[in-house]
Amino acid sequence: MLRVISVVAAMLVSAFGGTVAAQEYPTRPVSLVVPFAAGGPTDTLARNLAQHMTKTMKQQVIVENRAGAGGTLAPALVSKSKPDGYQVLIAHIGMSTAPALYRKLPFNPLTDFEYIGQVADVPMTLIARTGLPPDNYKDFVTYVKANKDKLNMGNAGLGAASHLCGLLFMSRIESDIQTIPYTGTGPAMSALMGNQVDLMCDQTTNTTGAIQSGKVKVFGVTTKKRVPSLQYVPTLHEQGLKDFEVAVWHGLYVAKGTPKPVLDKLNLALNIAIKDPQFKESMAKLGAEPVSADRATPESLAKHLKAEIDKWGPIIKKAGVYAD
Ligand code: ASP
């Protein structure tokens, strides 16, 4: 009997203690886990967001880069982390393509997480090293088709947005180009500027500065509408790749079982950030657009993720691309 009472008492203390901990969250720094290397687009978005979330959370939100396996290492780590809200994952469209791309995915995007909300949409750009001869899109396509066996394209690994965009582009111009995976498009961009890589498709959060300063050549943006910060760059759609559209959406996730008060605090911090004029402005300069409030919700992220998994699954299966 005494043992039963002490077990019940211990359970109560732990449940009550958990609730108190959740109410007081956060009492120490929170990690914002980025699935790619520092200096790339996901990292840039995360660092901007972390700065703003720090203000609301009244605790440091620290970016932690856990690159690897095309961006699937970080979700795997966060899915297995303690569900206390101290490991928050920022992940992009790759969360919806990974289930079809990876035969042995060590996490399930639909069942292993609690959702906080969507963050921002980021268009991509098709870029090349400055030494590549063509100067316009039409000549570029002719050149790529004629030299496809000699060219290469950098990306952030299987399932990264840069990989998907590259695959879509190659399939549209019916030319297979060798791909070179990096731990993120930050390092891939350095390789491109160092002439080790010829081409890349990457988010404007990484390419805007390099395009504006002429450190890379640009052949088009991947959204149907031009990007305000790169108004002079035509879309691929308007240059003949009809309906070509890739925009990279991002979401925030924590481990399944994280208590509701913690989820609410993270969601509040996200919502304050996306409405902050400073955040909007710094994102706009990089071509990115924070989501509207109706998308910065757990429900919206859950719905969008599911729809994207359903959309990409058949496309990827048809393309026959996968990793064991
Ligand atoms: N987001 C990039 C990609 O998917 C990688 C990165 O952030 O470094 O290609």
The domain segmentation of the chain, as residue ranges, is: 2-121+249-319, 123-230
Query: Ligand 1 pocket check: which of 199, 203, 249 to mutate, most ligand atoms within 8 Å of Cβ?
Result: 203
- Dihedral of alpha carbons 127, 133, 134, 135, sign: positive
Residue 315 Cα to ligand 1 middle (Å): 20
The answer to whether domain 2-121+249-319 and domain 123-230 are alike in fold is yes
Whether residue 209 contacts residue 41, with contact meaning beta carbons closer than 8 Å, is answered with no
Query: Ligand 1 pocket check: which of 49, 92, 164, 249 to mutate, most ligand atoms within 8 Å of Cβ?
Result: 92
Residue 69 Cα to ligand 1 middle (Å): 12
State the maximum Cα–Cα separation within the chain, in Å, rounded to a whole number.
84
What is the chain's pLDDT, residue by residue, as a tens digit (324 residues)? 445 444 444 444 444 456 767 889 999 999 999 999 999 999 999 999 999 999 999 999 999 999 999 999 999 999 999 999 999 999 999 999 999 999 899 999 999 999 999 999 999 999 999 999 999 999 999 999 999 999 999 999 988 999 999 999 999 999 999 999 999 999 999 999 999 999 999 999 999 999 999 999 999 999 999 999 999 999 999 999 999 999 999 999 999 999 999 999 999 999 999 999 999 999 999 999 999 999 999 999 999 999 999 998 988 888 777 776
3-state secondary structure of 289: strand
What number does the ligand 1 atom closest to the CA of 163 have? Answer: 9
Whether residue 144 contacts residue 175, with contact meaning beta carbons closer than 8 Å, is answered with yes
What φ, ψ does residue 304 adopt, rounded to 5°? -65, -45
CATH number for 123-230 (one of 3.40.190.10, 3.30.390.30, 3.10.129.10, 1.20.1250.20): it is 3.40.190.10
What number does the ligand 1 atom closest to the CA of 202 have? Answer: 9
Amino acid symbol at 121: D
Residue 160 Cα to ligand 1 middle (Å): 6
CA distance 249 to 258: 23
Q: Which residues line ligand 1 (CB under 6 A)?
A: 36-37, 40-43, 92, 155-156, 160-162, 184-186, 202-203
Amino acid symbol at 149: D
Burial 67-78 (b: 16+ CB within 10 A, else e): bbbbbbbbbbbb
For atom 9 of ligand 1, the residue with the nearest CA is 162
What number does the ligand 1 atom closest to the CA of 93 have? Answer: 4
Give 117's Cβ-side CA count (13 Å radius): 23
Whether residue 152 contacts residue 179, with contact meaning beta carbons closer than 8 Å, is answered with yes
3-state secondary structure 42-103: HHHHHHHHHHHHHHHHCCCEEEEECCCHHHCHHHHHHHCCCCCCCEEEEEECHHHHHHHHEC
Residue 12 Cα to ligand 1 middle (Å): 44
Residue 17 Cα to ligand 1 middle (Å): 39
Structure tokens at 160: 């990264």
Residue 162 Cα to ligand 1 middle (Å): 6
Amino acid symbol at 100: A
What number does the ligand 1 atom closest to the CA of 43 have? Answer: 7
Which fold is adopted by the domain 2-121+249-319? D-Maltodextrin-Binding Protein; domain 2 (3.40.190)
Whether residue 201 contacts residue 160, with contact meaning beta carbons closer than 8 Å, is answered with no
Helices 41-57, 204-212: axis angle to 10 degrees equals 110
CA distance 152 to 141: 14
Structure tokens at 209: 């500065």
CA distance 36 to 189: 13
Whether residue 251 contacts residue 270, with contact meaning beta carbons closer than 8 Å, is answered with no
C-alpha 58, offset from chain centre: 25
Q: Which residues pair with 91 in a beta bridge?
A: 251
- Is residue 124 left, alpha or beta, with left meaning phi > 0 and alpha meaning psi from -120 to 50? beta
